[in-house]
Structure 1
Amino acid sequence: MKRKLYKAGKAGFLIILFGILFSYAMFQGGFVSWFLFYSFLPFLIYMGGLLFYPLDDWTGARTLSSGLIESGEAVEIEIELRRTIPFPLYFMKVKESYPETLHLEVRSGEGVVTGDREEKVVERMIFPWFRRTVRFHYRLDHLPRGSHQLGEMYIRTGDFFGFVKKEAAINAGGRFTVYPASRNVSLSLGTKGFGQGKSAAANVKERHSNMVAGLREYAPGDRISWVDWKATARKNKMMTKEFEQEKSSESVLVLSTLSSPGNTAEFEGAVEFAYSLMLKLTRRETRQLSFLSLGRAGKYVASIHSRRQQEMIRYHLAEVSPDETGNFEEEMAKGHGRLSAQATLMIISTDLDDSIKNSLLRLSPSGRNVVLFVIMFHKEWDFTKQKHVRELKEYGVRVQVLTEKAWKRPEFEVEV
């Protein structure tokens, strides 16, 4: 309704202006008055045409320079605007606002959120004239992890004098995912023998002495080297060997997405560290690795063997967001039934509170190896947290604190 009233008002204004100029020329009758009338007539015609020109005729599309983007990297976005009616537009202003997910920026190589993006709007001035297709591009730097949906673009144009102004919204699509960055992890590995308790050995080389305990049917994710070909031929179905694993050869990587407000940098650091550690552990064929994500959008992967499973976890880590309402003790209790009693637990958290301490103290008496990685950038390591660490160490839980300094090094250095 407002647009119709606006158009009717502008049309009436142009008619009145035309009538005034024509009447002036008729009554004056001189060269100057007719010269003014004919000189201004093209502008009146253009303003009338622009008033009824459908700006909705424009359509848009976005094209990204890369389909695989990691946190901290940049992307070039090309905008292509098309139309069917080649009405002359001497200028057009294109405005695009970033979604809230892109308001943060991550410095490549540091892997931590550095603050709000200064420019949250992209504006470009283009001059289409009679062209049916117009292209321009812009660059987004220091992209944060996550799934980002670019919204509508707004185009605005007008006449030479600003009497007629038109604006329209274009839905150009454009959804892309920024995956967590990764870096090398230098591991010092602790091993256990068969039922001999804990024996920490800071040795990068792992021993692998698995013994075949039986046979079972093939399951997705089993390695080809596990297939027992004789049994397969005898039973006419794929059979794989079942191993009596060393206790230290089974590991579960647990990422706690439970995070308090204001822990954005720590949470992003935890996601990057979890992804980097997963890649490192899956490259070691002697370790059977599982993945568990605690929180509102929890996820469990029983065994990571294939590239497809790694990509599944990678996509989950790209999409995951902080859960500010959950409780670690409750979430860990939900996932405890999925964890092997012999597995080494590597837990990544952005805090160390009573809930985490109590939960880990209940896990420790079972004889399993537990390592807690605490990602902490800005909070002080106060007396309460130091007390929690001492209690956990007394029960055999190893605690490692990763500060912002760890992200300034070329690789993570940890012990599991």
Structure 2
Amino acid sequence: MRNILRRMGSYMKIPGLLLIAAASFAFAMFQGGFVSWFLFYTFLPFAVYPIILFFYPMKDFKAERLVSRTECIAGENIEISIRITRRSRFPLCYLLVEEMLPRKLSAGGQSAKAIVFPLFKKEITLHYSFENMIRGEYYLQEIRVRTGDIFGFFEKEESFELRQKLLVLPAYYDLPYRQLENFFDQGLAGTTKKLQRENSVVSGIREYQQGDQLSWINWKATARTNKILTKEFEEQKNHDLFIILDEETSDFFEELVSFTASFAHSVLKKGIQIGFLGTNEEIILPVRGGDIQRKKVLYQLAKAEGGQSAASVRVFDMNKAMLPPNAVLVYITSNLTDASIELLGSYKRNMAAAVFCLKKDPFITEYENRLRHAAFKRGIKVSFMEHSHLEEGLSGVIAQ
């Protein structure tokens, strides 16, 4: 309804301009003299141009967007050019070109609006940049072009649907190799003895010892020697990791995502396979290795949104069958609670588990000490990190 009234108002302006032009002509005819005709001819262009502009087809315009790159790291810049072309050289007083930005980009202080004065030009190119990009997945949808006469009698607008995806990955850095080695050497990367043996290579046989499982018995050797002999295993550590990111409300959510990306990037770089799950995501990434897995994890982290109420119990219930039975469970959070410890303890089964908790203060509280001891009893190692020292990697751990 508003658009209809707006169009009707525009049409009503045409008779008004023609009436004013006719009145000035009549005044010049009856009054005569230089001044009267000077006023008429002075006013005439300002009356005729808006009328011609009103019928000027905006379909004559074409828009094109050129992007320097469609993928970058948080904090980097993206250069964008907009090229506007038209077939005719009809003079235009001004041209307002606006990129309709996603809400998250606008809220981040980005702007993509410019006014130019093309006059008779058939092609115009505008340049702008998104500086210090914020992590996320964005879709540029539309470019709007607006023009009008100098007095604002008429305005014309045209929109161009130009869909373009921009992906801003979280900032990440290489964690120190020594810290990664400490992470694995402290037993977190090894599963329990039972799992180690079940997933290790048989190196020989030996006599049965109390605690050996029946499945380990070598029945052929037992029959030959009349002694119960069991398989002897060459124990190996399983270095596969399964990372779970707590996407609950947090003041340090971006730092949390950055650390998760850095941890995943660093362990994949060392040839370790990882899986990933965000507590607000329905998608689980199975344990894999290589550059393709790194890109998948970074993509999931780019889309991660904090501030939602993470239903961790529901997420675990939905995906517990997908959790690898022999990988290290790594839980990254900024809000460690008794419920979190209990939940991890109930789902880790025979898996080794570790928790990285991001916190504001550099000191461990009594409550956090109690959580750490409760986790230790369940076989879970907890490390607290101060958010301001994350760029130091695991060396920023303030409590083991």
What band does the TM-score fall into relative to the shorter chain?
A: 0.7 to 0.9
Aligned to 2:257: 271
Correspondence for 1:98 among 92, 101, 104 = 101
TM-score by length of 2: 0.78
CA 1:72 to 1:60, structure 2 compared with 1: closer, same or farther past 3 Å?
same
**Shift in Å, 1:56:** 4.5
Aligned to 1:161: 151
**Shift in Å, 1:42:** 2.4
Q: Indicate if the aligned counterparts of 1:406 and 1:412 stay in contact, CA closer than 8 A.
A: no
Structure 2 distance, partners of 1:391, 1:45, is 84
Aligned to 1:62: 65
Structure 1 distance, partners of 2:115, 2:394, is 46
Any idea what SS the aligned residue of 1:172 has?
A: strand
Correspondence for 1:172 among 150, 162, 166 = 162
**Shift in Å, 1:323:** 7.0
Aligned to 1:406: 389
Q: CA RMSD of the aligned region, Å?
A: 3.2
Q: Indicate if the aligned counterparts of 1:146 and 1:177 stay in contact, CA closer than 8 A.
A: yes
Percent identical residues: 25
Residues 48-59 of structure 1 mapped to structure 2, 5 A cutoff: 48-59=51-62
Aligned to 1:190: 184
Amino acid of the structure 2 residue aligned with 1:341: P
Deviation per residue, 1:77-135 (Å, 9 max, x gap): 111122233321021222345322224xxxxxxxxxxxx53x45433120111222211
Any idea what SS the aligned residue of 2:87 has?
A: coil
TM-score by length of 1: 0.75
Which has the larger Rg?
Answer: 2
Amino acid of the structure 2 residue aligned with 1:303: V
Any idea what SS the aligned residue of 2:75 has?
A: coil
Deviation per residue, 1:201-229 (Å, 9 max, x gap): xxxxxxxx97479xxxxxxxxxxxxxxxx
Amino acid of the structure 2 residue aligned with 1:169: S
CA 1:141 to 1:381, structure 2 compared with 1: closer, same or farther past 3 Å?
farther
Q: Which has the higher contact order (CA 8 A, sep 6+)?
A: 1
Residues 13-162 of structure 1 mapped to structure 2, 5 A cutoff: 13-103=16-106, 117=108, 119-162=109-152
Q: Indicate if the aligned counterparts of 1:144 and 1:178 stay in contact, CA closer than 8 A.
A: yes
Aligned to 2:228: none
1:311 counterpart = 2:305: no
**Shift in Å, 1:3:** 4.0
**Shift in Å, 1:363:** 4.8
**Shift in Å, 1:26:** 0.6
Structure 1 residues without counterparts, runs of 5 or longer = 104-115, 198-208, 214-242
**Shift in Å, 1:275:** 1.8
Deviation per residue, 1:13-46 (Å, 9 max, x gap): 1111111110011101212212221232222221
Structure 2 distance, partners of 1:165, 1:338, is 59
CA 1:151 to 1:347, structure 2 compared with 1: closer, same or farther past 3 Å?
same
Deviation per residue, 1:157-195 (Å, 9 max, x gap): 222333333344333333211112210112223334785
CA 1:83 to 1:6, structure 2 compared with 1: closer, same or farther past 3 Å?
farther
**Shift in Å, 1:53:** 1.5
Q: Indicate if the aligned counterparts of 1:292 and 1:300 stay in contact, CA closer than 8 A.
A: yes
Structure 2 distance, partners of 1:176, 1:379, is 37
Structure 1 distance, partners of 2:265, 2:202, is 27
Amino acid of the structure 2 residue aligned with 1:317: L
Any idea what SS the aligned residue of 1:175 has?
A: strand
Structure 2 distance, partners of 1:150, 1:64, is 11
Amino acid of the structure 2 residue aligned with 1:158: G
Q: Report how many residues are paired.
A: 356
Structure 2 residues without counterparts, runs of 5 or longer = 204-232
